[in-house]
Structure 1
Amino acid sequence: MSLLILVVDDDPTIRYEASSSLEKFGYSVITAGDSQEALNIIEEYHPNLIVTDITMSELDDYQLIRWVRQHPKFRILPVVFLTARVDVEKRIRGYQLGGDACLPKPFELNELYAIVRNLLERSQLMLWEWRLGMQQQSMERQTSSVDTTYQVYLNNQEYIPPVDSIEQIFLTRRERMVLKFLTEGKSNSQIATSLYLSRRTVEKYVSNLLGKTGTNNRVELVHFARKNNLINH
């Protein structure tokens, strides 16, 4: 399922151009013509990112950003705000309230896509790591006699305990994410789309995983990961 983006602007032309462009890039888009409509949509649909004008006249310019940042479940929700090019003070205020990026209008659609892609990659990684942490906490509660060798390696590395005669293997968080997708049967292109990476970057991670596990191809790598329970730590 593609990620959902909410576009908020009282100008129907801006809404159409932004939403049609983002849909061409593979995202699902829902639109709102004012802040109150946007608040209702956020509560109901929980979008993955918001693109919003902050100069809509009928409400406080910053009500939407302020509301989002005051709700814990939406605090990491990326917000791209739109302003007129001359409104420097408005842009500064938007950042102060928690906006993640600003685009002065009129904006280039390719620039909008680049900003959206970057923010989604960051927020989805944060969400993934949060869920991973919750799973690890659950596992730790269920296994009170966990061996002390099960520990998180420093420098953003994950420690994978040795199985039988297998040497210790250290995987980064991103390598482990790629490995999980591999065990689910996803192609490099599908993994790249899911993690907002280039296909070449995914290929590099796969190569690293092959080297660290001493396997020769994806089939051997997946078999090795499942046999040694690498993706559950």
Structure 2
Amino acid sequence: MSTGERDISILVVDDDPLIRLTLDAALTRHGYRVTTSGDPHAAAREQDPDAVLLDAIIPGCSLNECIELLGRRGDGNRRPILVMSGSLTRPDELAGTGIGYLTKPIPLTELLDAVEGLVASTSGTMT
């Protein structure tokens, strides 16, 4: 995995500040431009990232609502999302969406592989 600068922005949305800090550090160290937020509503208004890492359970916002808020880019195209949770069970809301799922705690190599796959989809045309 290269640690050089990439022209890919990742938004991390998680209500846990320690998880945001940890993911920010790991992804930044591997060349991604990272922003973080604990509030998906504010993030949707203020950010237009290439991809999103999203906690499955955020107080005040259902998973479906978070996906709706963050799932489109400013140009209207779909934005790739990767959902993370401490639950071993993939949320039913993700069925048929093509949205990836990781179980916390996430080993660094697994996280980086998943993000690499996620951002690879940003190079194609998303509708």
Task: Place the TM-score, normalised by the shorter chain, in its bin.
Answer: 0.7 to 0.9
Q: 1:38 aligns with which of 40, 43, 48?
A: 43
Q: What TM-score, normalized to structure 2? A: 0.81
In the alignment, does 2:111 pair up with 1:108? Answer: no
In the alignment, does 2:86 pair up with 1:84? Answer: yes
SS at match of 2:76: helix
Aligned pairs, number: 121
CA RMSD, 1 decimal: 2.4
Q: Distance in 2 between matches of 1:81 and 1:68?
A: 12
Which structure is richer in relative contact order (CA contacts within 8 A, separation 6 or more)?
A: 2
Q: Distance in 1 between matches of 2:72 and 2:30?
A: 30
The change in CA–CA distance for 1:115 and 1:61 in structure 2 (over 3 A counts) is same
User: What are structure 2's unaligned runs of at least 5 residues?
Assistant: 1-5
Percent identity of the aligned residues? 26
Q: What TM-score, normalized to structure 1? A: 0.47
Q: Distance in 1 between matches of 2:67 and 2:98?
A: 7
Q: 1:9 aligns with which of 14, 20, 27?
A: 14
Q: What are the residue-to-residue correspondences of 1:107-186 with 2, within 5 Å?
A: 107-126=106-125
Q: Distance in 1 between matches of 2:42 and 2:9?
A: 16
Counterpart of 1:181?
none
Q: Distance in 1 between matches of 2:108 and 2:95?
A: 21
SS at match of 1:2: coil
User: What are structure 1's unaligned runs of at least 5 residues?
Assistant: 131-233
SS at match of 1:126: coil
Q: Distance in 2 between matches of 1:113 and 1:89?
A: 20
The one-letter amino acid paired with 1:73 is G
Q: Cα deviation per residue 1:106-156 (whole Å; 9 max; x = unaligned)?
A: 1112211111111212221336xx9xxxxxxxxxxxxxxxxxxxxxxxxxx
Give the deviation of 1:38 after TM superposition. Answer: 1.8
Counterpart of 2:3?
none
The change in CA–CA distance for 1:36 and 1:67 in structure 2 (over 3 A counts) is closer
Q: Cα deviation per residue 1:191-227 (whole Å; 9 max; x = unaligned)?
A: xxxxxxxxxxxxxxxxxxxxxxxxxxxxxxxxxxxxx
Q: Which has the higher Rg, Structure 1 or Structure 2?
A: 1
The change in CA–CA distance for 1:63 and 1:121 in structure 2 (over 3 A counts) is same
Residues 54 and 62 in structure 1, CA contact (< 8 A), matched pair in contact too = no
Give the deviation of 1:70 after TM superposition. Answer: 6.6
Q: Distance in 2 between matches of 1:3 and 1:19?
A: 13
Residues 80 and 121 in structure 2, CA contact (< 8 A), matched pair in contact too = no
Counterpart of 2:76?
73
The one-letter amino acid paired with 2:50 is N
The change in CA–CA distance for 1:99 and 1:63 in structure 2 (over 3 A counts) is farther
Q: Distance in 2 between matches of 1:101 and 1:125?
A: 17
Give the deviation of 1:36 after TM superposition. Answer: 1.1
SS at match of 1:39: helix
